[in-house]
Amino acid sequence: MAKQLIKGNEAIVKGAILAGCRFFFGYPITPASEIAEAAAYYLPRVGGTFLQAESEIASINMLYGAASGGVRAMTASSSPGISLKQEGISYCAGSELPVVIVDIMRGGPGLGNIAPEQSDYNQMIKGGGHGNYKVIALAPNCAQEMCDLTMLAFELADKYRNPAAIMADGFIGQMMEPVEFPEALPRLEKKEWAIYAEGQDDDKLICSILLDPPELEQHNIKLQEKYAKIRQNEVRYEDYYLDDADFILIGYGVVSRVLQSAVDELRAAGIKIGMLRPVSLFPFPTEHIQHLAERVKKFIVIELSNGQMVDDVRLAVNGAKPVEFYGRMGGVVPTTDEIIANVRKIIEA
């Protein structure tokens, strides 16, 4: 496929199709509606199925059923819709189903507005549903990564039999940028555990209910061991001017793009500063931050929220160095000048 100027939301759908996704279940909600629109347009062209469910709750449970049948399937929504899906996400995690969930985050709480925010971090990374589960979560910061990380999400979901999420703020979803699409992934082989409605599947059962307490405990132990492997093998991040940095800015999504410009200007002014961008929010780059804490003076976390990811940064630093926070809410994205002014205040303090 040639390079295309395309919205981040549409790049997600094309990336999903290239990854072998053939089923989409969703319900339109701004600023994620283009994902449903693109899925409705493109999936039938490759023999796939688009189904607009009657609600977000219905769509996540349809996703549960499709994944049980061994196919690659996805859903997409925005913050209030993701809240409605939380029980179903917990069910998918409990049943170890490799589903992909896209969250194009918008302002809250409640209906809030349709402007970009990052206040879904806690509900997705900490587990908004019930139980002791984790969702693999990837955070793109451009339209190209909306495609690439969606393809990766399907691969990781299958590799670990676990739900995977794309967490992008509304800005990245609506932004138009050139995207170079890779080759389609190889055709998928059948999954041993899936139910294909064939004779040999009669003894298979996919569910998340284990009524015997010791049995449920063993299942939870198995899940925690899986999450430990994910932490060990799938941490992803981007370093920017960290080799000699005294101060480190940390941000993801659209914030990281503002931070990169701020780092360039502050470097030009003689300040040794760099940026760390977490690409995987779970697993979080905890060990990398711990190593950086051995030599830097201060961390500054910037988020479009009241401060949610900053808690994980503070846990990683564990008091070794100061961790400062600056955030905007309500869908307000800070400018480069605003970031620079606040970083200077923090450094001088």
Q: How far apart are CA 26 and CA 266, in angstroms?
A: 43
pLDDT of residue 188: 84
Q: How many CA atoms lie within 13 A of 143 on its CB side?
A: 19
CATH 3.40.50.970 fits 4-233, yes or no: yes
Percent of the chain with pLDDT over 70: 99
Neighbours of 39 (CB within 10 A): 29
Q: How far apart are CA 186 and CA 182, in angstroms?
A: 12
Residue 189 banded pLDDT, cuts 50, 70, 90: confident
- pLDDT, average across residues 49-60: 97
- Which tens digit of pLDDT belongs to each residue from 206-247? 999 999 999 999 999 999 999 999 999 999 999 999 999 999
Residue 204 banded pLDDT, cuts 50, 70, 90: confident
Residue 344 banded pLDDT, cuts 50, 70, 90: very high
**Which tokens go with 32?**
């994620």
DSSP state of 254: H
pLDDT of residue 1: 62
Residue 193: partners with Cβ closer than 8 Å, 6 or more residues away: 161, 204, 206
Q: Provide the CA 207 distance to its chain's centre, in angstroms.
A: 25
User: Is there a contact between 77 and 27 (Cβ–Cβ < 8 Å)?
Assistant: yes
Task: Say if strands 273-278 and 237-240 run parallel, antiparallel, or are unpaired.
Answer: antiparallel
Residue 68 banded pLDDT, cuts 50, 70, 90: very high
Percent of the chain with pLDDT over 90: 93
Q: Average the pLDDT over each of 5-19, 37-51, 202-216, 283-297 and give the range with the smallest value.
A: 202-216
- pLDDT, average across residues 30-59: 97
Residue 343 banded pLDDT, cuts 50, 70, 90: very high
Closest CA to 157 of 215, 85, 102, 86: 102
Residue 197 banded pLDDT, cuts 50, 70, 90: confident
Q: Say if 4-233 and 238-348 have the same CATH topology.
A: yes
pLDDT of residue 41: 98
**Which tokens go with 301?**
């976390």
- Which tens digit of pLDDT belongs to each residue from 115-136? 999 999 999 999 899 999 999 9
- pLDDT, average across residues 77-83: 97
pLDDT of residue 127: 86
Q: What ranges do the domains of the chain cover?
A: 4-233, 238-348
Neighbours of 200 (CB within 10 A): 7
Buried b (16+ CB within 10 A) or exposed e, 9-23: bbbbbbbbbbbbbbb
Give the domain 238-348 fold: Rossmann fold (3.40.50)
Rg, Å, the chain Cα set: 20
- pLDDT, average across residues 154-176: 97
Instruction: Give yes or no for residue 324 having a pLDDT over 80.
Output: yes
pLDDT of residue 200: 66
Kindly report each contact of residues 123-126 with a partner whose C-beta sits within 8 Å and lies 24 or more positions away, as own/partner.
123/82, 123/83, 123/86, 124/82, 124/165, 124/167, 124/281, 125/281, 125/282, 125/284, 125/308, 125/309, 125/312
Question: What does pLDDT average to over the chain?
Answer: 96
User: Is there a contact between 130 and 216 (Cβ–Cβ < 8 Å)?
Assistant: no
Instruction: Give yes or no for residue 59 having a pLDDT over 80.
Output: yes
Residue type, 235: V
- pLDDT, average across residues 280-297: 98
Instruction: Give yes or no for residue 11 having a pLDDT over 70.
Output: yes
Instruction: Give yes or no for residue 143 having a pLDDT over 90.
Output: yes
